[in-house]
A = this chain, B = another copy of it.
Amino acid sequence: MNARLFAFCGGVAGPWRVTRMSAIVGDGLPAVRRIAITPGTVDPSNEGTGWVLRGIMSNERYVQRDEKDRLLEKQEGLGRVESTCAALIPIRKNASWWALTQDERRRIIEEQSRHIRIGLEYLPAIARRLHHCRDLSENEPFDFLTWFEFAPAHEADFNRLLVELRASLEWTYVDREVDVRLIRD
């Protein structure tokens, strides 16, 4: 089985150097110098680790077949040599969001907020991997961790993507968001 569970360990070790951390909505995260991404579980008491965020890759919750086919056609994987820039965006959505039914959430995410179409527009430049946290336990600090990778030349595109998403109806349900920018060195 391929790894689905990943730990994002913020501390002093790892190939990704933190260049900026911003609390967009709600509480931020303690400042760290580097992030290491490791498959599986991690002992959070490891020396030098400031925090550990866990997330698991899961089945599609909203994407439909036609959208999935377009995503698969355009997307490229993580780990491209030229992708020396990354972002880790942990978010949490409020109780109103989680009380919505499936059709109500889909309508907000795509018909109103164009979340899937916006992501498509920035492929293949902006690669992304979504990790779910909410159902790992009862008390996770975030609901989702999204990891993005792109070349330095696409940083402005990435910022525009975030502006579009943060202006959407979907984002009115986000009650915590942190924006961590990184460079691989």
A138 close to B (CB within 8 Å): yes
> Is the Cβ of A98 less than 8 Å from the Cβ of B59?
yes
Interface size on A, residues (CB 8 A): 33
From DSSP, what is the main secondary structure of chain A's interface residues? Answer: loop
Task: Kindly report how many copies of this chain are found in the complex they form together.
Answer: 2
Of the candidate stretches A29-37, A100-108, A156-164, the one touching chain B is A100-108
Interface string of A1-29 (1 = CB under 8 A from B): 10111000000000000000000000000
> Is the Cβ of B3 less than 8 Å from the Cβ of A138?
yes
> Is the Cβ of B101 less than 8 Å from the Cβ of A68?
yes
Q: A residues touching B (Cβ–Cβ < 8 Å)?
A: 1, 3-5, 40-41, 56, 58-65, 67-68, 98-106, 132, 134-139
29 A-B contact pairs sorted by A residue (CB < 8 Å): A1-B138, A1-B139, A3-B138, A4-B138, A40-B138, A41-B137, A56-B137, A56-B138, A58-B134, A58-B135, A59-B98, A59-B99, A59-B105, A60-B101, A61-B61, A61-B102, A63-B101, A63-B102, A64-B102, A64-B103, A65-B101, A65-B103, A65-B104, A67-B101, A68-B101, A102-B106, A132-B135, A136-B136, A136-B137
